Structure 1
Amino acid sequence: MTVEQRLRQFVIENFYVSEPAELHDDTLLVSGGYVDSTGMLEVIGFLEQEFDVRIADQEMTPENLDSISRMAAFLARKRREAAAGGPTVAAAP
């Protein structure tokens, strides 16, 4: 299962998505009304546990977390930085 598939599965299983087929990688989750601010805390907890990353407060931005594709790109950056021994906190794009 790809990162995007796992993220989509989590969102569908944990939040109200009336038409799962309409949940695309670039669908905005918070501004689209799928995930509220409390739900975003659940998403962050899932990302940290499932993908073994630490997400700092300054990384909790829509640029990093408001869609499946943004989360996948954010996780890829975190993994590259960890592999390179770089910063533990990724800057928002």
Structure 2
Amino acid sequence: MKNEQQLRTEIRQFVLNELLMGDATAMLEDEESFLETGTIDSTGVLEVVMFLEQSFGMKVHDRELVPENLDSVSRLVQFVIRKKHAA
């Protein structure tokens, strides 16, 4: 299992490349909300879920599609860690 820093780096790279289209000047702080900053929409949520499932070999269930799990880099990191520990 990757450590927290490796997860954070990988997730930040995904956000930069896929959600921000490579615009490093638009990169958020790890705690900033994707929704509040307009970084993500419903299509973006699906992209995030596909990224998590493909990159970390996990299944994201419908009940887990909530801002507490998916709405910032830090929340994504913690969500992946919780899922991996529960597996």
Q: Name the TM-score, length of structure 1 as normaliser.
A: 0.80
Look up the equivalent residue of 2:33 and give its one-letter code.
Answer: L
RMSD of aligned Cα (Å): 1.5
CA distance in 2, matches of 1:58, 1:67: 18
CA contact (8 A) 1:29 1:66 kept: yes
Q: Which runs of 5+ in 2 are unaligned?
A: none
CA distance in 1, matches of 2:78, 2:18: 21
Picking from 58, 71, 76, the partner of 2:81 is 76
Q: How many residues align?
A: 81
Structure 1 residue 8 corresponds to structure 2 residue 30 = no
Bigger Rg over Cα: 1
Picking from 29, 33, 40, the partner of 1:28 is 33
Structure 1 equivalent of residue 47 of structure 2: 42
What percentage of aligned pairs have identical amino acids? 41
Look up the equivalent residue of 1:58 and give its one-letter code.
Answer: R
Give the Å deviation of 1:18: 5.8
Give the Å deviation of 1:32: 1.4
